[in-house]
Amino acid sequence: MEQETLATEIFKELKLSAKRWFIAFLVMLFLELATIAGFLWYISLPVDESAVTVSNEDDGSTNYIGGNMSGGVFNGQNHSNKETESSEK
């Protein structure tokens, strides 16, 4: 059996380590390129731009909250009607 020197053992370990790092580099390069390609695909997707048009078919009449122009909805209740009702009593 041939006796190996310390330098030869270190060189073999260095060679294996370099091979592992090269494989890790290739994997990271593939992941980076896949990420960039995925991002480019995502930003090239079509955008659904739709416009909303509102028409008033009641010849300009408006529905007011609570039946008056100062009505407002707060937490599901109409405060302006409560004020009107309490002042009427």
How confident is the model over 41-83, as pLDDT tens digits?
A: 999 998 888 887 766 665 656 655 555 555 555 555 555 555 5
Q: Which tens digits make up the pLDDT trace of 39-48?
A: 999 999 988 8
Q: Which tens digits make up the pLDDT trace of 1-41?
A: 467 798 999 999 999 999 999 999 999 999 999 999 999 99
The predicted structure's pLDDT at residue 79: 53
Of the candidates 77, 61, 53, the residue with the CA atom closest to the CA atom of residue 69? 61
Q: Domain residue spans in the chain?
A: 1-44
**Cα torsion through 60, 66, 68, 73, rounded to 10:** -90
